[in-house]
Amino acid sequence: MSHALKWEFPGGKIESGETKEECIKREIKEELNIEIEPLLLLQSNFHSYHSDKEIELIPFVCRYIKGKLILREHQQIIWVKPSKLALLDWAEADIPIISQIKSLEADNKLPL
């Protein structure tokens, strides 16, 4: 909620004893009510919104498995082609991830 009206990729904090893959699967289930399969781990992005808080975003390209999409923590969701991601107003920490996705798409390396 700290970045209201900005687009963000879904996700959250890794719990103790949890792998990165387990975390993204759990977070997507909790936030969107769907099951996913992580296909490709992208480069992490460290970002500081305040001098006392640094976050690490660990992005994945994922495949939908099953479930009915229900927004539990977000106001809106949209599906866009990777080439259209930059048209949205993103939270600062997510912008480097968009660049990675666009590069993978340009090189035909997105596993979708």
Query: Above 90 in pLDDT, residue 51?
Result: no
CATH superfamily of 20-106: Nucleoside Triphosphate Pyrophosphohydrolase (3.90.79.10)
Looking at residue 1, its pLDDT comes to 47
Stated pTM of the model: 0.87
Looking at residue 52, its pLDDT comes to 79
Average pLDDT over residues 88-103: 93
Mean pLDDT of the chain: 91
CB 94 within 8 A of CB 7: yes
Query: Above 80 in pLDDT, residue 107?
Result: yes
Looking at residue 2, its pLDDT comes to 57
3-state secondary structure of 40: strand
CB 85 within 8 A of CB 71: no
Query: Above 80 in pLDDT, residue 77?
Result: yes
CA distance linking residue 7 with residue 90, whole number of Å: 4
CA distance linking residue 33 with residue 16, whole number of Å: 22
Beta strands in 9-73 (DSSP E): 35-41, 45-50, 53-57, 60-66
